[in-house]
Amino acid sequence: MPHPGAFGLLLTLHIVLAILVVGPLTLTCAAVPSLLRAGAGSLPALRVATRLVRGFAAASLLITLTGVAMVHEGSFGSVRSLGDTWLAASLVLWAVGCAACLGVVAPGLSRAATDIGAGGDGRGRLVPIAGGALVSTGCWLVIVALMVVKPGG
């Protein structure tokens, strides 16, 4: 199953980026509940986690761009389009996953770090942050399944 030329290079870059960006993003989101329960001792880690979530969510755009760049040259010469249901669904899920990270998880972590830094308890923010992390992780998992199975494609 060779993938020569530019398509092979883009596919390799797409997969490597997915591993190196989505993996750490998902791991960081998974660690959030433990960090919030740890309280003041986890304040430096919470601040780092906030930056990691923002950075990796933004970097996931590179995965999307490499995927879109190779869309019209699918495997074995098959022609794909962004109108393919599984590709369109993947793009929507990517947007939802990023929105959950950038609109819920990262701001929630930042507010929790501020609360803890002021002597409060950031655990009150656990449910929305964990919910956002769960939504984003679910999106990444479904995207991977769609990329492998390519239903209807």
Range of the domain at 108: 5-149
As a whole number of angstroms, the distance between CA 90 and CA 117 comes to 38
Domain count, the chain: 1
Q: Note the helical H segments in 21-105.
A: 23-38, 43-69, 85-100
8 or 21: which carries more pLDDT confidence? 21
As a whole number of angstroms, the distance between CA 76 and CA 109 comes to 44
Residue 87, Cα to own-chain centre: how many angstroms? 16
Burial class (CB in 10 A: 0-12, 13-18, 19+), 63: buried
Burial class (CB in 10 A: 0-12, 13-18, 19+), 86: middle
Flag whether pLDDT at 2 surpasses 80. no
The string of pLDDT tens digits covering residues 33-45 is: 899 888 888 999 9
* Cut 0.95: pTM above it: no
Q: Give pLDDT, residue 137.
A: 95
Contact between residue 125 and residue 112 where contact means Cβ atoms under 8 Å apart = yes
Residue 134, Cα to own-chain centre: how many angstroms? 11
